[in-house]
Structure 1
Amino acid sequence: MSSTPRTRAEARRTTKASSRQPRQPRQPRPSGRRSWPRRILYTLLALFLLGVATVGVAYALIDTPKPNDLATAQTSIVYFADGKTEMGRISDSEGNRESVELSQVPLHVQRAFVAAEDRDFYQNNGISPTGIARAVWVAIKGGEATQGGSTITQQYVKNYFLTQDRTLTRKGKEILISLKIDGQQSKDEILANYLNTIYYGRGAYGIQTASKAYFGKDVSKLTPAEGAFLASVIRGPSLYDPRLGDSQVERAKSRSAYILDAMVTEGWLSPEDRAKATFPESFVKYSPPKVSGPNGYAVQLVKDELSQKVKLSDSDISRGGLRIVTTIDVKKQKAAQEAIADRLEGTKNLNVGLASVKPGDGAVEALYGGADFAKRERNTATQDTMQAGSTFKVFALIAALQSGEINLRNTFPGQSPQFFEEFENPAGKTEFSRRGGVNNYNDEDFGRINLIRATANSVNTVYARLNIEAGPKKTSAAAAAAGVTTKLSPNYANVLGTDSVKVIDMANAYATLAAKGVRATPYYVKSVTSVDESFDYTAKPVTKRVFEEDVVADVVYAMQAVVDEGSGEYAGRRLDRPAAGKTGTSSDQYSAWFDGFVPQLATAVGMFEGDGSQKEANQMKDVPGWGNITGGTIPVRIWTDYMRVATEGMEVVKFPEPAYVNRDAAPKQTQRPENNNDDSDSNEETSRPETSRPEPEPSTSTPEPTTPSPTPTPEPTTPKPTPTPEPSQPEPTITIPVPPGNGGGGGGGGGGNNDATPGSG
């Protein structure tokens, strides 16, 4: 067992302790023997904090109050964004408390708490002047009055009598009440009340309940090591409960060792007993109460944000009587759940994640992490990862336009297959893969096309060449700047989706494009108040400009073509407003995506099968009612079903006109592609009809190829028939070998090992 102190202060204390002999055990001083001059001095300090002029007035105003509602574990309520509709309740227990007499608590357990929290407990007057001074100084500098050194008496007062507000006024009341209680109650009474009211995690209030929650035994049977552990966990159950992970185990071991060593120093534990006090080997299995169903994932994200961002303790969150208003819109949340349930009907083992983010703000307005949080805690939208497929192509387009040398008018050969040295893999299993072969879906030839058409039709051969021009490191950098937080591997195949990403990240990254290049940090909590009005928090969006508006305008223009007539056309035909997006499919259908946005809302939908690992059983092929799953099948339909409801009543806003950045750049000279058709002409357009989407005006400095384009086929004048549920346009996929060591990241939803053959679509 490690005995390394957890903090510098603990290290200093341990060093000092090792240089001196153990002290004789301190004896409790009799109740009633108080240092009145010192008590008066402390009272004057409290008066200063309270702004009260005289001791008499203070004692008249500050009486020992009755226990407040917090002491009975008042539940916190989570609301949707309207502040009225309840999403769920946060409570680790239902009044889970059982008080015991101090005589039932072994002496070594009592001393473990005193050694951990207040070694001068039996000598002080109930407060710590140095700790109060630190708190006051921090508050004066603009921080919260929560710093440092509360005594056991102060902690008892704060938890049992006072609210959890962080003000100097509350600190002043805490001092006066602590002084008063220290004068009225014996130290044994105070310690007993403290042990019976403190929160230990696992829904346990009081040491008897905690003993059963962690060790399944009566408090009277606790060992010194178990007592030291319980004295550790009160600092923050989420930081010390071993069930939560290896880091919690290490913290608990370190803190417990420090407490046991301190007991030896104080003469409260013999060195022989200390040597026997090893960290507990087993704990009772525990599962906290959960909000079931799909909303449980949002409630858990709220709890995480309150802890990590708002800095509330587990006790504050579970029993603080908080009223938490989230960013989740009740109509959008219901629409997401219904869209996914409808489209997955009749399927098995398919996992879908959906996240919907407000551009330029970061508020998450809908979140689907799974069907039932009570059955599967892992969140498909925020924890699982899956290969990005062709949704990553937009980042290569950003990098290319940022280079200053490429513009939307540039044309590239769209034949299939094409071979690139940068994509070669000596370990490839086929001649094509060894030679760096890149294929379009069904080896379709597109002739020489510009980047708008290449984006609309997700042409792999064009984007493979574009990533060579732009550079895979810059593509990865663009993805990270947009909002992708997973580890990225800047290999040339990353443009085709080798990296594994999270749904929430892709929603936020595309929201950055919808916001004209301004990235926002996603958040779930809009505001928090307490029922006694002692706590009040309002979220402030965190934003940063990461891309130039003109570059984003061109990227979005190309992405609109995906929805207007490309692989995401299903959405364009059913959404009564301008939209932009991108489909994505990994090779062998291990993952499938549709990510898109209107100016006011960005939504990503990603899906995988089983545990997401790259094994044949997880290939989304021959799915009943769908066949092979691609981004153009289930994902785009879920996205469309959801967005039709989510945008109801929303103002129709157009995207900015394209800027055609780098319009004066010299024409790109792309070499003739190497393929398996010796008679092909890389400079000749195919007979594929032009789309109805207007192309950018040609520039005199960068002329289009002189080869005449074919005459466009006129659009039919009759209304387009409504597509059937089967895919209206197949999603392009390819097989590209990833050089060893450069595979996409693994994760719950994607493969991405070094030998993976990720595809794109």
Structure 2
Amino acid sequence: MINYPRSDKTGAARLIPSWKLVLGSLLTLAVIGAGAFAAAVFLLPVPKPNDVAIAETTKVMYDDGKKEIGRIGDVRRTSVTLDEVPEHVQYAVLAAEDRDFYDHGGFSVGAIFRAVWNNLTGGSTQGGSTITQQYVKNAYLSQDQTWSRKVNELVLSVKLETIESKDEILENYLNTIYFGRGAYGIEAAAEVFFGKSASKLTMEEGAALAAMIQAPANYEPTLYKDALVDRWYYVMDGMVEKGWLSQQERQQADFPKFKKPPNANQLSGQNGYIIEAVKREMLEEGWTEAELSGGGLTIVTTINRKSQKAAVAAVEASGPEFETKRLRIGLAAVRPGSGEILAIYGGEDYLENQLDNALQARAQGGSTFKAFTLAAAIEEGFGLDSIWNGSSPATVDGYTLQNFGNASYGSVSLLSATTNSINTAYVDAESTVGVKESIDAAERLGLPQDTPGIEPNLTFVLGSSSPRAIDMASSFSTFAARGRAADPTILREVIVDSGDVNYQIDPNRGKRVFDQDTMDTVNYALQSVVNSGTGTRASWTGRPAAGKTGTADESKSAWFVGYTPQISAAVMMTKSNKKGEPVSLNGTGGVGNVTGGSFPAAIWASFINGALEGEEMESFVPPGGTIPTEGPSESPSQSPSAEPEPSPSEPVIPSQSPSGQPTLPPTEEPVPTPNNGGVPEQEGVPPQGRNSVAPAPSG
């Protein structure tokens, strides 16, 4: 009989349970819990693996949902017996995933605590699931991260250990686990990655495959070789620790050579870049690799077929034809207001180079960043007629810099400084408006905060930071959308195998980050760059267009970022030496001085012509008030003057005795020099072929 409240005590002490009662209660709960767990293990049936839904490939479609781009995960699976898998491969898998597999009963409390400890202390990242638990989850259960699924996984794991031997569980695991590239099971993985049967795998190859199990996408050898090598060493160290491999064998091991990814036809050209971009974003959204590779999904992308064809055709028609070794060209285009990625040009062929020049590669942005300071200045109340120091060389807040060719312009309006991309005037403006204000404007417009090189100093306006093409296309799309920004996305719709729509993009997802009047004034100023400034080749479209050129120091990168009301696109060019280090673009395609106003602007124009062929011509909303054609006053003005159309003043003849070289480290934007400087101005003639861009001083 339970003595509670306690009869041998008085007062409040009667309510304090005795240690016998506490111990007895805990033992009773433990017995009941153990009994319930045992009953669950006994009563819960184990489904046959054959009852699991057959994995299906995932289709990746163009934005119309009708034309297929390619597929993710052509499911490959060939079952083999454990005897057909070399022992050193079995040991490698155990070293990678469950070193105590033969010593536990389905789950390992020690493994769970070790995983928690390593993850908290910064050791090697580990999971707490045993091989049995992983097999149960993959073969019988869903991937849901819920408590009910976790309990079922634990119960089934223990149950399975009572009806199947350890060798049977390991064999089933090796035949079902996902290795990447659509390969389920060790036999398929051996074929896909090494072109041989699992029975022929070497120790080094087996360890490499075992290393990939934890996160196949993050250890794809063509993309993340360094990470895979580190994990490979971890696996072999585990084999040494368990006595399955000698230290000498470990030290003599050489990292194996992998086959190129399969599905060459569907991944060739731009398709591989698009499919990989889809995979990255889907994983970021919480989908698992197994769901992507075998879930039977239909992913409708934002990629527009006509725009995509136009991107490829533009690079082929207007890009350089010779002196192109190790040249990289990236193009990204987005829809203003929604952030939908309409087209990308990631490189000539994904199979030859997997680094995406549109969505992954980076380069200094040069004077394209002047557009961010322009937006900040307009928002702060400075008009396009405000006057700034365009003399060269100039010293601003301790920084000494000069314009391209040391061209000196004297006092110039903000409009003229934008049209002609005048370095000194823009650094003067940034110093007054504020560097933090310029950076804030850039980030609101869409430049990621983690863009390398963003520092709160005057070099920001000259583009010392290194964005991606998609970052710049997205940021400038906010101008086109009159102040509405949306993060770029390649996902329009995701349809699960049942036919239900799991996700659908909101075409009006853009959020207001700038007022329309500010954006209309910015658009007006950036139209002058295309109409009569450093980006006149972009006017070849014959459509209202705005944009900004950018050229890094020594022409190590060249940009044109431009937009119409319907589309925003960025074109980036870089070149490297054998070591992968950036080198000057000068001389590429026979052009002595490659700038953003040369090939990049020509490619952009060619792309816009193709992407908007047959589309209605749209104009920008003119700004309120009146706009100057020249800088009319001697000091910065808060109000615009009375001239309606952009016609910037001609630059003065550069000084014949420049003093010194600039000490400011970042990029400098080439600007037009007068004809009497000995370099002919370029006429706005449409390109006739790939090498149609003649040398020009404007950038």
In structure 1, C-alpha distance between the alignment counterparts of 2:493 and 2:660, rounded to whole Å: 47
Equivalent position of 1:113 in the other structure: 94
Are positions 1:408 and 2:389 aligned together?
no
Are positions 1:457 and 2:420 aligned together?
yes
Deviations 1:176-206 (A, max 9, x none): 9878866764443233222222223365433
Equivalent position of 2:40 in the other structure: 41
- Over the residues paired in the alignment, what is the CA RMSD in angstroms? 4.7
Say if 1:631 and 1:221 are closer, same or farther in 2 by CA, change over 3 A. Answer: closer
1:645 aligned partner, one-letter code: G
Gaps of 5+ in 1: 1-34, 47-58, 133-146, 264-268, 425-435, 662-666, 671-689, 697-708, 711-733, 746-758
Are positions 1:562 and 2:543 aligned together?
no
- Residues 226 and 279 in structure 1, CA contact (< 8 A), matched pair in contact too: no
In structure 2, C-alpha distance between the alignment counterparts of 1:735 and 1:644, rounded to whole Å: 44
Equivalent position of 1:66 in the other structure: 50
Question: Which of 361, 365, 369 lines up with 2:338 in the alignment?
Answer: 361
Equivalent position of 1:693 in the other structure: 645
Say if 1:438 and 1:179 are closer, same or farther in 2 by CA, change over 3 A. Answer: closer
In structure 1, C-alpha distance between the alignment counterparts of 2:248 and 2:147, rounded to whole Å: 44
In structure 1, C-alpha distance between the alignment counterparts of 2:354 and 2:660, rounded to whole Å: 34
Equivalent position of 2:5 in the other structure: none
Are positions 1:500 and 2:477 aligned together?
no
2:453 aligned partner, one-letter code: K
SS where residue 492 of structure 1 aligns?
Answer: coil
In structure 1, C-alpha distance between the alignment counterparts of 2:383 and 2:529, rounded to whole Å: 18
Question: Which of 630, 635, 647 lines up with 2:600 in the alignment?
Answer: 635
SS where residue 66 of structure 1 aligns?
Answer: helix
In structure 1, C-alpha distance between the alignment counterparts of 2:333 and 2:433, rounded to whole Å: 30
Task: Report deviation, 1:534.
Answer: 8.8
Matches within 5 A, 1:93-172: 95=76, 97=78, 99-102=80-83, 105-106=86-87, 109=90, 113=94, 116-117=97-98, 119=100, 124=105, 152-160=131-139
- Residues 328 and 365 in structure 1, CA contact (< 8 A), matched pair in contact too: yes
Q: Which 10-residue stretch deviates more, 450-459 or 581-590?
A: 581-590
Question: Which of 286, 296, 299 lines up with 1:324 in the alignment?
Answer: 299
Equivalent position of 1:299 in the other structure: 275
Question: Which of 358, 362, 368 lines up with 1:385 in the alignment?
Answer: 362
Task: Report deviation, 1:475.
Answer: 3.2
Tell me the TM-score normalized by structure 2.
Answer: 0.70
Are positions 1:77 and 2:59 aligned together?
yes
- Residues 107 and 133 in structure 2, CA contact (< 8 A), matched pair in contact too: yes
Are positions 1:282 and 2:255 aligned together?
yes
Same amino acid, percent of matched pairs: 36
In structure 2, C-alpha distance between the alignment counterparts of 1:148 and 1:614, rounded to whole Å: 40
Matches within 5 A, 1:214-363: 231-240=210-219, 244-254=224-234, 257=237, 269=243, 280-289=253-262, 290=264, 291-307=267-283, 309-344=284-319, 346-349=321-324, 350-363=327-340
Equivalent position of 2:676 in the other structure: none
1:566 aligned partner, one-letter code: G
In structure 1, C-alpha distance between the alignment counterparts of 2:304 and 2:513, rounded to whole Å: 27
Deviations 1:419-456 (A, max 9, x none): 325575xxxxxxxxxxx4523668374x6442223322
SS where residue 200 of structure 1 aligns?
Answer: strand
Deviations 1:3-58 (A, max 9, x none): xxxxxxxxxxxxxxxxxxxxxxxxxxxxxxxx9974532577x7xxxxxxxxxxxx
Task: Report deviation, 1:239.
Answer: 3.7
Task: Report deviation, 1:606.
Answer: 2.0
Are positions 1:86 and 2:86 aligned together?
no
2:384 aligned partner, one-letter code: L
Q: How many residues align?
A: 595
SS where residue 568 of structure 2 aligns?
Answer: strand
Equivalent position of 2:672 in the other structure: none
In structure 2, C-alpha distance between the alignment counterparts of 1:573 and 1:214, rounded to whole Å: 48
Deviations 1:210-264 (A, max 9, x none): 5677789976788999877655532212345676243443345446656875x5x
- Residues 417 and 425 in structure 2, CA contact (< 8 A), matched pair in contact too: yes
1:465 aligned partner, one-letter code: D
Question: Which of 502, 512, 518 lines up with 1:551 in the alignment?
Answer: 518
Tell me the TM-score normalized by structure 1.
Answer: 0.65
SS where residue 355 of structure 1 aligns?
Answer: strand
Say if 1:395 and 1:422 are closer, same or farther in 2 by CA, change over 3 A. Answer: same
In structure 2, C-alpha distance between the alignment counterparts of 1:115 and 1:204, rounded to whole Å: 18
In structure 2, C-alpha distance between the alignment counterparts of 1:316 and 1:651, rounded to whole Å: 43
In structure 1, C-alpha distance between the alignment counterparts of 2:659 and 2:58, rounded to whole Å: 51
In structure 1, C-alpha distance between the alignment counterparts of 2:575 and 2:240, rounded to whole Å: 49
In structure 1, C-alpha distance between the alignment counterparts of 2:296 and 2:252, rounded to whole Å: 35
- Residues 589 and 620 in structure 1, CA contact (< 8 A), matched pair in contact too: no
1:634 aligned partner, one-letter code: F
Matches within 5 A, 1:485-496: 485-496=451-462
Equivalent position of 1:593 in the other structure: 559
SS where residue 521 of structure 2 aligns?
Answer: helix
Deviations 1:288-345 (A, max 9, x none): 22501123222221222223x1333444333333322211111111111112211126
In structure 1, C-alpha distance between the alignment counterparts of 2:103 and 2:187, rounded to whole Å: 23
Task: Report deviation, 1:68.
Answer: 5.0
Say if 1:155 and 1:247 are closer, same or farther in 2 by CA, change over 3 A. Answer: closer
In structure 1, C-alpha distance between the alignment counterparts of 2:659 and 2:188, rounded to whole Å: 58
Equivalent position of 2:488 in the other structure: 522
2:527 aligned partner, one-letter code: Q
Say if 1:122 and 1:478 are closer, same or farther in 2 by CA, change over 3 A. Answer: same
In structure 1, C-alpha distance between the alignment counterparts of 2:320 and 2:88, rounded to whole Å: 61
Say if 1:219 and 1:236 are closer, same or farther in 2 by CA, change over 3 A. Answer: same
In structure 1, C-alpha distance between the alignment counterparts of 2:260 and 2:552, rounded to whole Å: 36
1:207 aligned partner, one-letter code: I
Say if 1:466 and 1:167 are closer, same or farther in 2 by CA, change over 3 A. Answer: same
Say if 1:305 and 1:614 are closer, same or farther in 2 by CA, change over 3 A. Answer: closer
Say if 1:738 and 1:107 are closer, same or farther in 2 by CA, change over 3 A. Answer: same
- Residues 70 and 321 in structure 1, CA contact (< 8 A), matched pair in contact too: no
- Residues 386 and 608 in structure 1, CA contact (< 8 A), matched pair in contact too: yes
In structure 2, C-alpha distance between the alignment counterparts of 1:413 and 1:103, rounded to whole Å: 78
In structure 2, C-alpha distance between the alignment counterparts of 1:565 and 1:604, rounded to whole Å: 20
In structure 2, C-alpha distance between the alignment counterparts of 1:341 and 1:517, rounded to whole Å: 33
Task: Report deviation, 1:595.
Answer: 1.2
1:479 aligned partner, one-letter code: A
SS where residue 184 of structure 2 aligns?
Answer: coil
1:377 aligned partner, one-letter code: Q
In structure 1, C-alpha distance between the alignment counterparts of 2:286 and 2:618, rounded to whole Å: 39
Task: Report deviation, 1:127.
Answer: 8.0
2:71 aligned partner, one-letter code: R
1:197 aligned partner, one-letter code: T
Deviations 1:124-179 (A, max 9, x none): 4x6899999xxxxxxxxxxxxxx986554453344345666778898898789878
Task: Report deviation, 1:510.
Answer: 0.6
- Residues 324 and 527 in structure 1, CA contact (< 8 A), matched pair in contact too: yes
In structure 1, C-alpha distance between the alignment counterparts of 2:561 and 2:635, rounded to whole Å: 32
Say if 1:231 and 1:539 are closer, same or farther in 2 by CA, change over 3 A. Answer: farther
- Residues 323 and 530 in structure 1, CA contact (< 8 A), matched pair in contact too: yes
Task: Report deviation, 1:503.
Answer: 1.4
SS where residue 179 of structure 2 aligns?
Answer: coil
SS where residue 569 of structure 2 aligns?
Answer: strand
Are positions 1:580 and 2:550 aligned together?
no
Task: Report deviation, 1:472.
Answer: 4.1
Equivalent position of 2:574 in the other structure: 608
In structure 2, C-alpha distance between the alignment counterparts of 1:573 and 1:534, rounded to whole Å: 45
In structure 1, C-alpha distance between the alignment counterparts of 2:571 and 2:282, rounded to whole Å: 26
Task: Report deviation, 1:278.
Answer: 6.5
SS where residue 260 of structure 2 aligns?
Answer: coil
In structure 2, C-alpha distance between the alignment counterparts of 1:363 and 1:127, rounded to whole Å: 45
Are positions 1:478 and 2:441 aligned together?
yes
